[in-house]
Structure 1
């Protein structure tokens, strides 16, 4: 199982924001430099996180990105699903068979993983 690099950058970005001063907003350039990634690429990731309500964007000279007011409740799963979407990781080739035993096993494992990721909050790492 593999998540995209975008998920990696999103998780690190949210952690950087959580560890920064709550009053300070971080710009895309600074966040990109910390992760050695293109600011243009990171901007696309940040836009997804803004759309999901995980972070806020403030325009202007003193603008930048900051966490949502209730950031302590943001889980790894929230961030992952904000980037990757909420579709299942497993796509059974026999979708017409609702009794597929392989699909049942894979979906149960995915559910367990999601539960684990839901319990881990970004605030746990700060």
Structure 2
């Protein structure tokens, strides 16, 4: 399940994408338009800036903006950045592997099913971009 943080990130990203022609957008505008707590949104946008998804400009005419066009912002990247692993079990995660507690890892039927779920989820999320989210609004 997507965290509130990731859901809010997608709300902010879609707002930035829809308003790209305006240039940098103030956090307060995004917060008000998307009904997201200003403090929470500040942290989310800063995290996305550090990850190279957003840029920012200070001073008059400042705010946040997308660095890449919406078709180059993969949903999987945003989810991993903010929520961590996409896999439902740590033992099938490609980027955050951990051995499951109380598991021998010899042959686990749950592991095999969850690996298939992960693979199919990734097939969708790695192909889908912010542009796809915009199309569905």
Work out whether the TM-score is over 0.5: yes
- Residue 64, structure 1, aligned to residue 81, structure 2: no
Matches within 5 A, 1:1-126: 2-86=1-85, 88-91=87-90, 92-124=100-132, 125-126=134-135
Q: Point out which structure has higher relative CO (alpha carbons under 8 A, 6+ apart).
A: 1
How many residues align? The count is 125
1:66-120 CA-partner distances (Å, limit 9, x unpaired):
0013442112112111211236332444443242121111122022112201111
TM-score by length of 1: 0.86
Structure 2 unmatched runs, 5+: 91-99
1:22–1:66 contact (8 Å) kept in structure 2: no
The answer to whether the 8 A contact 1:94-1:100 is kept is no
TM-score computed with the length of structure 2 as normaliser = 0.80
- Cα root mean square deviation, aligned: 1.9
Measure the CA separation in 1 of the matches of 2:77 and 2:22: 23
Structure 1 distance, partners of 2:67, 2:106, is 40
